[in-house]
Amino acid sequence: MKTAFEILKQANDEHFALGAFNCANIETLKAITQAAANLKAPVILEASDGEINYMGYEQMVSLKRIYEKQVGIPIILNLDHGKDFDSCKRAIEAGFDYVHLDGGKMEFEDNVAMATEVVKLAHEHGIPVEGEMDHIEGSSADHTTEDPKNLQNEKLFTDPDRAEEFVRRTGIDVFASFIGNLHGLYADQKHLKMDLLTKIKEKLPNTWLSLHGGSGTDSNDVVNAIKLGIVKVNVNSELRIAFKMTLQEVLNASDEIAVYKIMDKPIKEVQRVVEGKIKLFGTAGKAA
Ligand code: 13P
């Protein structure tokens, strides 16, 4: 099976983006891996500190390996928004394939120091590190009463020169850019600042770029961002909502108490969302 480094390189060379799908239960895991298998698409399966605390580090690693073997498609397991060195170390030592250190709320120098340490450890284990220096606003939830523009303060977006310094001093492999992307679903589709993405890529020609906040983002913007160099798009809220809403409908319509018997619909609905994203990101067939 290809490594995370090899798949990121393939995405960069062939201009597609890996969907990075959050997962905090076995149903979502099944939906993501089934979508990947159906479309022969490599995927990133990811979990934040909170999601992993629920699932378990070793459990996530074992499940990922079992499903990867079963479907025969590369599945990269990522720690999403690891909050500090210890969190990344825990994931690396448990067998994760990729870690994201979210230093977005740290002082720049502290973030540089911590990211440098994470890179050292991760590279000893042969896995890539994603770094973040601007706090990407929002949360993976339903904010559909809010206007996304209220959170899109351009003064807080990525400064390309600072991004160049951050990457040069830390040695991170993937940079999480803040170009108008927000976590969560809002009243309007989110739009991205393409000219800023172009400038970031010019400053970082040899660094892979990621896009957080993949839910509810204008599809044309996503496709154009991938053309400009985004190789990873994170998606969480749309999966959470698909799962919860469908489960709620099924529960309201059924007296069944053997819960495994009612999980088929929520799984299928999450799978449908994941397949749509995989097609949009141009990843279908890339594991063939
Ligand atoms: P969304 O919740 O907007 O899909 O963002 C997910 C994300 O970026 C996880 O890191």
Pocket test for ligand 1, best of 135, 137, 140 (most atoms within 8 A of CB): 140
* Residue whose token pair is 């490599």: 42
For residue 148, being part of any structural domain is answered with yes
Pocket test for ligand 1, best of 51, 143, 177, 215 (most atoms within 8 A of CB): 215
Q: Hey, how many other C-beta atoms are within 10 angstroms of the C-beta on 67?
A: 20
Nearest atom (ligand 1) to Cα of 81 = 10
> Helix-strand-coil percent breakdown of the chain, rounded to 5?
50, 20, 30
Look up the domain containing 10 and give its range.
4-280
Cβ-Cβ contacts under 8 Å for 243 (sequence gap 6 or more): 25, 27, 28, 31, 266, 269, 270
Q: Whose CA is nearest to atom 1 of ligand 1?
A: 213
Three-class secondary structure assignment of 74-143: CEEEEEEEECCHHHHHHHHHHCCCEEEEECCCCCHHHHHHHHHHHHHHHHHCCCCEEEECCCCCEEEEEE
Q: How confident is the model at residue 7 (pLDDT cuts 50, 70, 90)?
A: very high
Instruction: Output the CA 65–ligand 1 centroid distance in Å.
Output: 24
For residue 286, being part of any structural domain is answered with no
CATH number of the domain to which 64 belongs = 3.20.20.70
Q: Is residue 80 annotated as a catalytic residue, yes or no?
A: yes
For residue 104, being part of any structural domain is answered with yes
Q: Which of 80, 134, 173, 221 is catalytic?
A: 80
Least Cα distance to 198 among 224, 218, 174 occurs for 224
Whether the per-residue pLDDT at 278 is higher than 90: the answer is yes
Mapped onto helix, strand or coil, the DSSP state of residue 207 is coil
Reported as a single tens digit per residue, the pLDDT across 119-141 is 999 999 999 999 999 999 999 99
For residue 285, being part of any structural domain is answered with no
Q: Which residues are part of a known binding site?
A: 81, 102, 132, 183, 212
Which protein residues touch ligand 1 with a CB less than 6 Å away? 22, 80-81, 140, 183-184, 212-215, 234-238
For residue 235, being part of any structural domain is answered with yes
Counted domains in the chain: 1
For residue 287, being part of any structural domain is answered with no
Helices and strands (H and E) in the chain: how many: 11, 10
* Whether this model's pTM surpasses 0.95: yes
- Beta strand extents in the chain (DSSP E only): 18-22, 43-48, 75-82, 98-102, 129-132, 138-143, 174-177, 183-186, 208-211, 230-235
For residue 288, being part of any structural domain is answered with no
For residue 122, being part of any structural domain is answered with yes
End-to-end CA distance of the chain: 12
Reported as a single tens digit per residue, the pLDDT across 179-229 is 999 999 999 999 999 999 999 999 999 999 999 999 999 999 999 999 999
